Structure 1
């Protein structure tokens, strides 16, 4: 357990922080204007046997 906590014992330099801050900050998903057809589909379970 103690060894696992050792991974948190580090600091980033100013240059490393600049590299992290330079990473793109855009969303990793796309929200479409219109929902896809499957999201609007309904199921009719009354005809199930």
Structure 2
């Protein structure tokens, strides 16, 4: 998630930093570049 946009949304919604804290907990994640194939299964089984 875009941290800056999330901070703006957090401020507008009066969340007190909860949304920013949530994306901090998620972490940066992985880059996904245009044209790179990935697999998204139709069904998810834990």
Which one has a bigger Cα radius of gyration?
1
Q: Answer 1 or 2: higher relative contact order, Cα 8 Å, separation at least 6.
A: 2
TM-score (norm 2): 0.24
